[in-house]
Copies of this chain bind each other. A is one copy, B any other.
Amino acid sequence: MESKMSAIRILLADDHTIMRRGLRLLIESQPEFCVVAEASDGRQAVQQAEATMPDVAVMDIAMPNLSGIEAAQRIATAQPATAIVILSMHSDEGYVLRALKVGAKGYLLKDSAEGDLIEAIKAVHQGKTFFSPEISKMLVEDYVREIRARGTEDTYDLLTSREREILQLLAERQSNKDIALALNISVYTIETHRRNLHEKLNLHSLAELILYAVRKGIIS
Contact = CB atoms under 8 A, between A and B. Distances in A.
A71 B146 CA distance: 24
Interface stretch (A3-11, A26-34, A74-82, A136-144): A136-144
Report the copy number of this chain in the oligomer. Answer: 2
A21 interface: no
Given A94-B169, A129-B136, A172-B94, A143 B210 contact: no
Contacts of A183: 67, 70
Contacts of A178: 94
A61 to B, nearest CB: 9
Interface of A: 62, 64, 67, 69-70, 94-95, 97-98, 100-101, 127-129, 133, 136-137, 139-140, 142-144, 146-148, 169, 172-174, 178, 182-184, 205-208, 210-211, 214-215, 219-220
Given A97-B144, A129-B140, A143-B143, 18 more contacts: A67-B183, A94-B174, A95-B182, A97-B143, A97-B147, A98-B182, A101-B147, A127-B133, A128-B133, A129-B136, A129-B137, A146-B146, A206-B206, A211-B214, A211-B219, A211-B220, A214-B220, A215-B220
